[in-house]
Chains A and B, each alone.
Chain A
């Protein structure tokens, strides 16, 4: 491609040679940079988008901590946190239920707060600390809430259980497990089609009343 940037000759004859070489170097470097950079990046630079930008169809770098381990990933902006956990990190404990934020099966903790990972874009998790069901146990020692779910039969088919347990832990941490009524209200974002609700409430009450650290 021919450069369309005009090379004007400066008036001062003395500097003609140096100046035009300098200009040539500057311009050719700029052109190389443009040639090697996707159009959208140039556009983003022109729009003064100061931080992150991604071209359509391009993957973007994502660094986040998952269950105490720093993960450096490359993700499409449209990938949800749920899909990244399951497909890229093989953490399939977190379940995909409705995939529309209605059932709570995908509940994980982000910086200690429970969220629906199916409605969370992974790229927005940069620098965050994620905890999934796999991150609750300490080695072979189950988390007290996991123990309580087993003891009280807090599940039947088990598909909603990882989300229920992540939500149950958060429910106690938030201070919303003070009565059966309050537990039911603050667990309402987790649907159990088998109907294990009474046993789930019992499990949460036992952990809460036992004063165990969650």
Chain B
């Protein structure tokens, strides 16, 4: 690993003062960043350790649940407040990584983690995300884990998070601090599609810091489910995952939220499928129709074409679990 300078500012202002410099990276849990630094995928000149900042709290506001950016994945997944108000988030977090990693990883860091595309990690391979302009090794290479939605000619990598899929479904808001003050961004607009700039994973500015997220109160707690399909039973990234949140009254779906992981460069909301379910009965037939609708525009690239069948089956299965039909 390349040598770097290490600083540990005591205040948020102290962090904002230094993060804008070229070659500077923020470190919180470090579970992804340290790995990337060991492999030479990234080689910052300076690390800014933000663990002194008071951003760990999980607290109820009038209309939402606020979770600090430095709250650990393990703490959030075990939180009584989260279990009561947003069990979908707890399920997604527990499906991700290992207990050791969840004890280190933070909410903000989970959002900022990079893709696990093998071509991104292997510095001897071409990768437009790691080194723009070198090409995409995965496009015609081993792309079993890769995107079926929203890819570009430049990049077919997927965002690896489980937590983010749940937060996208729950219409969370990202709270961001910058030199000009605070701004708030819908979670679904935080991550971006690769387009012509796959080196950019999200819309966070270089001079900005995630301070927390807010999840608006909802009526989904009774009918939520996170289903993750992977190569082994635990501790593996998703081939396909589905987050479902339903508000069901007397068998009728009043409101539905669906998001998928492992299929795109960002958590993939299924807006058309959600609309199609609203006002309908919670039946397997309606769920299958919604799943087919969700697959419009999907494209396989060879190794990953099995996802074109796996994804709708996973959507249907997750909906059945959420509705209590399984």
Residues of chain A touching chain B, judged by Cβ–Cβ distance below 8 Å, are 40, 44, 47-57, 60, 76-78, 80, 99-101, 104, 107, 113-116, 119-121, 123-124, 167, 170-171, 174, 176, 184-186, 188-190
Contact = CB atoms under 8 A, between A and B. Distances in A.
Interface string B1-22: 1111111111100100110000
Interface in B6-61: 6-11, 14, 17-18, 27, 30-31, 34-35, 37-39, 45, 47, 49, 51-52
Contact of A54 (B6, B18, B34): B6
A28 to B, nearest CB: 29
Nearest to A123: B6
Contacts of A80: 34
A188 B98 contact: yes
A101 B30 CA distance: 11
A53 B5 contact: yes
B7 A119 contact: no
A162 to B, nearest CB: 13
B51 A189 contact: no
B99 A77 contact: no
Contacts of B134: none
Interface of B: 1-11, 14, 17-18, 27, 30-31, 34-35, 37-39, 45, 47, 49, 51-52, 74, 97-101, 103-104, 233-235
B18 A119 contact: no
23 contacts: A44-B7, A49-B18, A51-B52, A52-B8, A53-B5, A54-B7, A57-B3, A76-B3, A78-B2, A78-B37, A80-B34, A114-B103, A115-B104, A116-B31, A116-B101, A116-B104, A119-B35, A119-B101, A121-B30, A123-B6, A123-B49, A185-B234, A188-B235
A43 B7 CA distance: 12
A188 B6 contact: no
Given A54-B7, A119-B35, A121-B27, 9 more contacts: A49-B9, A51-B52, A52-B6, A52-B49, A53-B7, A78-B37, A104-B98, A120-B104, A188-B235
Nearest to B31: A119
Residue from the set B17, B100, B101 with the largest chain A CB neighbour count within 10 Å: B100
Contact of A120 (B11, B30, B49): B30
Which 5 interchain pairs have the tightest Cβ spacing?
A189-B98, A188-B234, A77-B6, A188-B235, A52-B8
A124 to B, nearest CB: 6
Contacts of A52: 6-8, 49
A101 B49 contact: no
Given A115-B100, A123-B6, A189-B98, A78 B1 contact: yes
B35 A174 contact: no
Residue from the set B14, B35, B51, B74 with the largest chain A CB neighbour count within 10 Å: B35
A50 B30 CA distance: 22
B262 to A, nearest CB: 18
A166 to B, nearest CB: 9
Given A80-B34, A100-B35, A124 B3 contact: no
A80 B235 CA distance: 23
Contacts of B234: 184-185, 188
B56 to A, nearest CB: 14
A56 B1 CA distance: 13
B35 A50 contact: no
Nearest to A112: B103
Given A49-B18, A53-B6, A56-B5, A100 B38 contact: yes
A7 to B, nearest CB: 33
A101 B99 contact: no
Contacts of B99: 114, 167, 170-171, 174, 176, 186, 188-189
Given A115-B100, A174-B99, A99 B52 contact: no
Contacts of B5: 40, 53-56, 77
Contacts of B104: 115-116, 119-120
A107 B17 contact: no
A48 B18 CA distance: 9
Nearest to A98: B35
A115 B105 CA distance: 10
A122 to B, nearest CB: 10
A101 B31 contact: yes
